Amino acid sequence: MSTASTRSPRTWFITGAGRGLGRAYAVAALERGDRVVAVSRSVVREDFDAVHGDRVMPLAADVTDRDAVFAVVAAAAERFGRLDIVVNNAGSMYSGMIEEFTEAEARAQMEVNFFGALWVSQAALGALRTQRSGHIVQISSIGGLGGFPSTGLYSASKFALEGMSEALAQEAATFGVKVTIVQPGGYWTNLYTSMTATTPAEPYGPLREELARQWAEGSIDSDPRLAAEAMLALVDSPEPPQRLLLGSMVYDLAFDLSRRRMADWSGWERVSRAAERAVPAPADHS
């Protein structure tokens, strides 16, 4: 495995770099001597220590604006000559029961978490294909493992991201480009404090109270720097995994959910297999 002292500096393109996990990834990359294109809606150079100088390129852009995304990716590639690691970290969270979501709220959740990552992936692939190398890291979530009460649309956006990324990994491999889906657990960021809530519907009051009780008894979140250390280990690996879980809680949950799904599939195997029987193509009676 290469180390910061034996390899050339690499260029990172990180969305949502102004705060939370995105900022932790950016700082970790800069501290090891790499270059970082720090993208956020409002990120400025003052958000990073002046010691990093020209190795950091702050760019303001809204990832839901496809044209703006292509423009900042082109500017980054022109400035540094190449892109090595693209981290789709920008995200938002809407909290609410499925029935409560307005159309505007549902679409807004998908715009950032799915379409934003799609536009960045599309824009970056041009440069990565040309150089026939690179690593796209899609930041998913514990919400990408399963759907949970009050975060169903958030999970839907992460499920969409993961489905797209699995296909992308196979397509990009043709050009020597790697793709990894990262599923973090809880970290001390402002994701929860900045989330948007739907208008509560009275019938869900008891469920909300139960969820509040569970969250009050929940685990303490982790320092984002631990996620950044894991990110460095990931991008330094010559054979990175297609999926990476961050944290013991999310690790255990992933296996628990997988076992439940396998039990469902196995329990209904007879019905599943009976639903398939090859027959000749029906005659055209039109």
Catalytic positions: 140, 154, 158
Cα separation of 246 and 142, whole Å? 9
Closest C-alpha among 83, 64, 62 to residue 73? 83
> Crossing angle for the helix pair 103-110 and 152-172, nearest 10 degrees?
30
CB 34 within 8 A of CB 9: yes
Interhelix angle 117-131/152-172, nearest 10 degrees: 10
Strand arrangement of the beta sheet that strand 11-15 belongs to: 56-60, 35-40, 11-15, 85-88, 135-139, 178-184, 243-246
Tell me the β-bridge partners of 88.
138
How many CA within 13 A on the CB side of residue 174?
7
| C-alpha–C-alpha distance, residues 168 and 37, integer Å | 22
Element (H, E) at 278: none
CA distance 15 to 266: 41
- Looking at residue 247, the DSSP 8-state letter turns out to be S
Beta strands in 51-185 (DSSP E): 56-60, 85-88, 94-95, 135-139, 178-184
